[in-house]
Structure 1
Amino acid sequence: MEPGYALLGPVEALPSLGLADPERANALLLGIIEAASTGPEVEPLAAAVARLITGATATDVCFVHVLDDTERSLSLAGATPPFDAQVGRVQLPLGSGVTGWVASHREPAVIVDHKETDPRYLPLPALRGTEFTSMASVPMATGPAGLVGVLNVHTVTRRQFTDRDIRLLLVIGRLVAGALHSARIHRRLVARERAHERFTEQVIAAQETERRRLAGDIHDGISQRLVTLSYHLDAAGNTLREAPHEAATQLGLARGLVDLTLDEARAAIGGLRPPVLDDLGLAGGLASLARSVPQVEVSVELADDRLPEHVEIALYRIAQESLQNVAKHARASTAVVRFEASGGAARLVVADDGVGFDASAVGQTGYGMRSMAERAELVGGELRVVSRPDSGTTITATVPTATL
């Protein structure tokens, strides 16, 4: 901000048309503050600024052009009616037209009349420039942010914009530039977060597609061939006449190997792609997992809410790993699996009454716990582990559902 404007006194900081009245100056300042407080979105702020400027400068229309994220062009972010319908549709490369010239040179530009004779002027049919005679254009910039955008005002009748008029526009531009800069940063962060979420979903979807393909290959190839082999072994056992005892022994060993391989193939299929999710949904899948834990009485409290596929898969895998830990390490007699979706979040809880462990060393407890935490984080959630020696373990995965 220029010297002389730092304190923003209502009369000194806002020089110009009719603003020697302290009440009007204070009203304008209040309006700018309220506009800057409307929220982190660029377009509502720019629209509010456009309305304030036309009222403060007695002009007919105002356009607020904001530097886009590439910093190579300006986008119409706010305008007074009826041009507000063009917001987001008008793009101007830096250096193009009067607006682009002002952005490139960081200097104001004034055209009193005969705009078409000015070499900088570029007609934009959407903004109906031929209907307006005079215009003033100033850069919006701050020291920390640099150029943020350009303010344009137009009048239907001929207007000789004075130095005080331009100073007023420059001051207003500086006042709102910081807020617009913050709004642009927020917009970039939101876009980056959404891109990250989409990427995460695509990665999980690609992983599950590949798992589904591998599971299908195992089922249709290895498993089917093993089943066929078992039929041949049975047939061979029924037709052997010589050395029946030895043959029966060898066939029995082969049959046992086939059965073991089939069990391993089925386990691999289930590990690659849980088909129970396709058949029964998440609640059914969790109930099936609870029934599969040996020597532990597992109760379930399961809501029937459905979630996006990649979230259901993540929660299913977390429950699967948790119950495997219960079966292998917890030495528990009972456990409970709870799933609910309410209050803007989905929660999966797996708790047991086993031996527990030191939860402060959870990062050192092996791949399984880290894998569960990573799965929760990939779908925008978090994993919480509560455990103490001899006090059991509770694992809670929480995923926000508002953005799903």
Structure 2
Amino acid sequence: MTTRGLGLDDPQRENEVLLAIIEATTSGPGVEPLAGAVARVITGATATDVCFVHVLDDTERSLTLAGATPPFDAQVGRVRLPLDTGVTGWVASHREPVVITGDKRADPRYVAIPELHGEQYTSMVSVPMESEPVGLAGVLNVHTVAHREFDDRDVRVLTAIGSLVAGALHQARMHRRLAAREEAHGRFAEQMIAAQEAERQRLARDIHDGISQRLVTLSYHLDAVATFLGRDEAAAARTDLTTASDMVLTTLDEARAAIGALRPPVLDDLGLSGALAALARGLPEVRVALDLEDRRLPEHVEVALYRIAQETLQNVLKHAGAEEVTVRLTTGSTGVRLEIADDGVGFDPAERTADRAGTDGAGYGLASVRERAELVGGSVRVTSRPGTGTTVTVTAPVDSEPFDEVSPRNT
């Protein structure tokens, strides 16, 4: 039995199909959902048995099956065809349609694809999906089990559909590339921060296990020598030993401070909110108000926000002349916000162009704050005027997974 054409001889029916295709192209930014929706519309409207939508890879050297009607939708993403291989590759390379109504194996361009069971289908039409602004986006194939006579009008209709789909597929491919780049940038930032923190931990361990331990041992020996020295004959030696002991203790304190700066243990022990509370309460002669949500965040975000708070609070001590500092930490399903406000002397941010270039001048040193925020995809806003204090607000994205229940900590 032979059937003729796509069954779209009625212009009204043809317009309905084209409108359905346009609606399918709005199914979302993803390449695969779009291609799958188009394949279903085509088979439903043309009474063909199966439709394959092959999309040009980003390398533009091969095609990938991006959409198919059941049962072949399970092969989406798995079937790849080099350009100029098989009928589909030939259509992509030559930008011309191909119609086969009988024995496909007799066509020298035909190459069997085992996953798509081409031997089960008798007739096929393959057209390039391309449009003037974007060029080739892929190849559209329809197949029928029964013998089907496809005429020039059928080819023109399918080519028009391919042209409509090409623009949407191009946009979807661009969206995918942008999303991949953003994801790669985010992973790079996380890996860089993780590498920095790993190096900080290594240095902290080296200082603790090496320099600090030797200083402690040296202090014990100095104390022992001082005990055995007589009071009269070795007064000068005792004075030198006391000075040496004092220097050892000072150096030991500095080593411990360096360890804390390299990797604050409080961040591991208490999380970000606890670490911020300890950091703020350690400010000398400054009243502290805390409003901190106690939620764990990704490690690279916690480290960045802790370093930002550390830098900002040091700037408050150096430059603000503040009597009170407020630290707030709030989180949502996809973002975190850190706000540090003081009632100090303030400044005009517009005049701090030197700070943006990486020099602190006489005001807040915000260059490193901005750099740390940008590394985790965040941003910094500074609000200040002379005589009105300063507020530094940092926002950063976090994973889209929901957080645990909020446990606010207020002081």
- 8 Å CA contact retained: 1:384, 1:395: yes
Q: Hey, what's the Cα distance between the residues in 2 that align with 1:256 and 1:162? A: 99
Q: Secondary structure at the match of 1:159?
A: strand
Q: Hey, what's the Cα distance between the residues in 2 that align with 1:339 and 1:243? A: 62
Q: Hey, what's the Cα distance between the residues in 2 that align with 1:234 and 1:299? A: 44
RMSD: 1.5
2:68 to 79, 82, 85: 79
1:55: how far off? 3.0
Q: Please tell me whether residue 39 in structure 1 is matched to residue 36 in structure 2.
A: no
- Percent identical among aligned pairs is 66
The farther-off stretch of 157-166 and 203-212 is 157-166
Alignment of 1:131-210 (within 5 A): 131-210=120-199
Partner in structure 2 of residue 274 of structure 1: 264
Partner in structure 2 of residue 265 of structure 1: 255
User: Alpha-carbon deviations, 1:290-309, whole Å to 9, x = none?
Assistant: 12211211221111100011
Q: Which amino acid aligns with 2:141?
A: N
Q: Which amino acid aligns with 1:304?
A: D
Q: Please tell me whether residue 53 in structure 1 is matched to residue 42 in structure 2.
A: yes
Alignment of 1:199-278 (within 5 A): 199-241=188-230, 243-278=233-268
Q: Which amino acid aligns with 2:370?
A: A
1:350: how far off? 0.9
Partner in structure 1 of residue 99 of structure 2: 110
Alignment of 1:278-297 (within 5 A): 278-297=268-287
Q: Secondary structure at the match of 1:165?
A: helix
1:357 to 340, 343, 347: 347
- 8 Å CA contact retained: 1:363, 1:370: no
Q: Hey, what's the Cα distance between the residues in 1 that align with 2:123 and 2:12? A: 28
The farther-off stretch of 356-365 and 197-206 is 356-365
Give unmatched runs, 5+ long, in structure 2.
Answer: 402-411
- CA spacing shift, 1:18–1:124, aligned 2, 3 Å: closer
Q: Hey, what's the Cα distance between the residues in 1 that align with 2:103 and 2:291? A: 77
Q: Hey, what's the Cα distance between the residues in 2 that align with 1:17 and 1:57? A: 5
Q: Hey, what's the Cα distance between the residues in 2 that align with 1:245 and 1:287? A: 48
Q: Secondary structure at the match of 1:190?
A: helix
1:363: how far off? 4.3
- How many residues were matched structurally? 389
The farther-off stretch of 111-120 and 79-88 is 111-120
Q: Hey, what's the Cα distance between the residues in 1 that align with 2:348 and 2:99? A: 72
Q: Which amino acid aligns with 1:333?
A: E
User: Alpha-carbon deviations, 1:156-176, whole Å to 9, x = none?
Assistant: 011221111111111110111
- 8 Å CA contact retained: 1:133, 1:156: yes
The farther-off stretch of 156-165 and 185-194 is 156-165
Q: Secondary structure at the match of 1:110?
A: strand
- CA spacing shift, 1:272–1:227, aligned 2, 3 Å: same
1:342: how far off? 2.4
1:52: how far off? 1.9
Q: Hey, what's the Cα distance between the residues in 2 that align with 1:387 and 1:261? A: 39
- 8 Å CA contact retained: 1:65, 1:151: yes
Q: Please tell me whether residue 379 in structure 1 is matched to residue 369 in structure 2.
A: no
Q: Secondary structure at the match of 2:340?
A: strand
Q: Please tell me whether residue 23 in structure 1 is matched to residue 15 in structure 2.
A: no
TM-score (norm 1): 0.93
Q: Please tell me whether residue 388 in structure 1 is matched to residue 378 in structure 2.
A: no
Q: Secondary structure at the match of 1:182?
A: helix
Q: Hey, what's the Cα distance between the residues in 2 that align with 1:338 and 1:259? A: 36
- 8 Å CA contact retained: 1:57, 1:165: no
Partner in structure 2 of residue 11 of structure 1: none
1:65 to 54, 61, 75: 54
Q: Hey, what's the Cα distance between the residues in 2 that align with 1:144 and 1:22? A: 27
Q: Secondary structure at the match of 1:24?
A: helix
Q: Secondary structure at the match of 1:232?
A: helix
1:237: how far off? 1.0
User: Alpha-carbon deviations, 1:207-263, whole Å to 9, x = none?
Assistant: 100110001101111111111111111111111126432122211211121122112
Q: Hey, what's the Cα distance between the residues in 2 that align with 1:37 and 1:320? A: 47
1:362: how far off? 4.1
1:20: how far off? 4.2
User: Alpha-carbon deviations, 1:64-95, whole Å to 9, x = none?
Assistant: 00001111110001111111111111111111
1:310: how far off? 0.5
- 8 Å CA contact retained: 2:6, 2:48: no
Partner in structure 1 of residue 409 of structure 2: none
